[in-house]
Structure 1
């Protein structure tokens, strides 16, 4: 999900955007579905499924494939684990005219011309129970009003806090609705640089995507709502203030940089009890439990008088336009967002269905509830969905944000980023 974003280079963007010229395979839906297959080698259908998962998550995908095969005799699901090379391999497969039938997806602006619009499938299939899926997630799978993937899992972002460190410092646990001033005051009390203990961990390299919720919460944005302007948006006082506060925390010793080259990740530093607070998605939650960290989660802080905003990291599943067996591909896509499969994947993604959240009591679990509360606040559209050249702009924004963490003034850094990047803004 968010880690995959940084892997897509400018070259891949250019490849993916020109792939549609390769054409091929996107015509009428094939009738080679899963119906009436005998299961013999002569009639067996092979469905190719590309995933970025590795390790335990890949094992879950393999179990999902086996379950689909069991329910669809005569079908073989061939998993293609692209791992960290996901975007490179996927772009190459589209360029060669031989993509997998179905694939995990998040970067719809880059790949949508090579994906099958799913609206007609969705409208004909009442068994999908679309009203059971959180509506705001569909904001992340559409381009120009068409749906190119089904949400399959997500996370918002919340703050993890180490209860023992709070207790030792005599600092009350944070509560939903706390302010950024509350957060910064707590971070100072929780810091002891002499012991290399800090109130908060800040990534050495920051993905602007993940910071958008904080920027929106202060009334700022990286780009205008129509996606055509960054002047006065990316470098607005509100945007600069939201970023500057982290640079200031590093200067006053209430936060520390984590996760640099050959350094411990922020997750591991939090486990080690060296940072009291850590901002992330749901991904490390189970690992913190396994490490027996006494921790809690809380919604992101608010800026006074302004509503807190969230950002979603989404996993979706899509069908290749060039697939020659779209009916079968749709069956797998629909299966992938069924209750049974979502439960199998719940250790790595938050469930997307309201009924499952209630069944699994995630809406009553204090560790998971802040993530769902943040979903209710995630109604803004991220920059990469508003402008198709965003990757070119984003590299300047990334450099600017990282320079703030190294001591540069946020307003100056963002002004420079706008000056260098605005030539890439797609005005169409």
Structure 2
């Protein structure tokens, strides 16, 4: 799964470049749904995955081919160049038929709405999906992508460090006051051991869960106001909390320039708690770390809220093979294909129950956080969020390095008001 960011594309420039190109993406066949050399219909599928996760996509494609012998699924691995290549293909009117998708505000006008396809397909049981995921692939009341995988965010904790200090393991329902107290007790700067790791340049998208949990948000629900939201006392407190922990040495900055990642430092037993999605879990197992997971802490008297990192599969509006594309999307969303995916969490309720996924104590907190993830991310609420987020990101990075949170967020709001008014 591609980790979510909020840096949108400068699409017009890419489109202009695409118009001057030969309309072929790197490594693609310009079949556009026509028959290939062996007489099979070519269906193009673009993904950002690489390595082992790419192999999973290729396995799913092969399984689809087995069920549809007259079809050849051409998996196009765009990797880190996914956004650029996808935008260029849209601009050249030669997009893949089906593609991974997350950045719906940037692309939805080039995608086929799925509502009618779903409505006319009695085999698609939409109630079997976790409903909160549809919020992340919808725009203006229309659905543009079927959920493929997701992760929420939890706290990983090192059981060995807790045991050595005689501290009980954290449990669901704990608070940020509990968290900070535990982090302080588990910090020993003389041994370069700290209670928590703080990213010096955190993704503002990921921080939204903390802000929502404290009763605020970056932007109003209608997407028309940031003053009093992005710089509210609750937002300030949510973000300043981590900088204060670094200042009092109960946390340490990790993953910055020339620094080890938080994942690696957690593996080394030098931070007791680490906040992340599902991505590092298998790596922690392979490293033989004795760890647990727990849902995020709450601000006193307020419900915990979470943010989802999700991926979906979408159909290009310019696809010449929409019926076949929908058939592939349906298969990709089927229990059979979902069970083949091991890099993220199942999106179907029936699969989770069958595989007893929720009964795994390491996985259970991710699904508990899914139940708490109903808020709409800021990038889906305002078309100019990319511009606004540049100012917010600069403010957040400064806050994590110890600069005045209120001043930084007030300046971010002031510098961003012009984009709200557009």
Tell me the TM-score normalised to structure 2 length: 0.93
> Are 1:313 and 2:309 matched, yes or no?
yes
Identify the match of residue 51 of structure 1 among 47, 51, 57.
47
Counterpart of 1:326? 322
User: Comparing 165-174 with 418-427, which one deviates more in the overlay?
Assistant: 418-427
> Are 1:118 and 2:117 matched, yes or no?
no
Pair 1:179–1:40, CA change in 2 (3 A): closer
> Are 1:152 and 2:148 matched, yes or no?
yes
User: Comparing 88-97 with 249-258, which one deviates more in the overlay?
Assistant: 88-97
> Are 1:352 and 2:347 matched, yes or no?
yes
Q: What are structure 1's unaligned runs of at least 5 residues?
A: 20-31
Partner secondary structure for residue 259 of structure 2: coil
Pair 1:332–1:298, CA change in 2 (3 A): same
> Are 1:400 and 2:395 matched, yes or no?
yes
Pair 1:16–1:391, CA change in 2 (3 A): farther
> Are 1:257 and 2:246 matched, yes or no?
no
**Per-residue deviation at 1:43?**
3.0
Counterpart of 1:201? 197
Count residues in correspondence.
412
> Are 1:387 and 2:382 matched, yes or no?
yes
**Per-residue deviation at 1:15?**
4.9
Identify the match of residue 172 of structure 1 among 168, 172, 179.
168
Q: What are structure 2's unaligned runs of at least 5 residues?
A: 19-30
Would you say the 8 A contact 1:151–1:316 is kept in 2? yes
Counterpart of 2:28? none
Partner secondary structure for residue 360 of structure 2: coil
Q: Deviations over 1:329-380 (max 9, x none)?
A: 00110110111111111x2111001111111111211111111001111111
CA distance in 2, matches of 1:64, 1:42: 21
> Are 1:73 and 2:69 matched, yes or no?
yes
Counterpart of 2:10? 11
CA distance in 1, matches of 2:182, 2:192: 16
CA distance in 1, matches of 2:418, 2:75: 41
Counterpart of 1:23? none
Identify the match of residue 106 of structure 1 among 93, 102, 106.
102
Tell me the TM-score normalised to structure 1 length: 0.92
Q: Deviations over 1:64-87 (max 9, x none)?
A: 111111110111111111111111
CA distance in 1, matches of 2:32, 2:335: 22
> Are 1:284 and 2:283 matched, yes or no?
no
Would you say the 8 A contact 2:41–2:70 is kept in 1? yes
CA distance in 1, matches of 2:262, 2:169: 20
**Per-residue deviation at 1:17?**
12
**Per-residue deviation at 1:263?**
2.2
**Per-residue deviation at 1:261?**
2.2
CA distance in 1, matches of 2:317, 2:49: 23
Q: Deviations over 1:266-307 (max 9, x none)?
A: 111111111110101111111111111110000100011111
Would you say the 8 A contact 1:33–1:328 is kept in 2? no
Would you say the 8 A contact 2:158–2:272 is kept in 1? yes
CA distance in 2, matches of 1:43, 1:328: 16
**Per-residue deviation at 1:41?**
4.3
> Are 1:268 and 2:264 matched, yes or no?
yes
Would you say the 8 A contact 1:193–1:253 is kept in 2? yes
**Per-residue deviation at 1:3?**
3.0
CA distance in 2, matches of 1:9, 1:116: 20
**Per-residue deviation at 1:395?**
0.9
Would you say the 8 A contact 1:13–1:110 is kept in 2? no
CA distance in 1, matches of 2:400, 2:224: 28
Counterpart of 1:373? 368
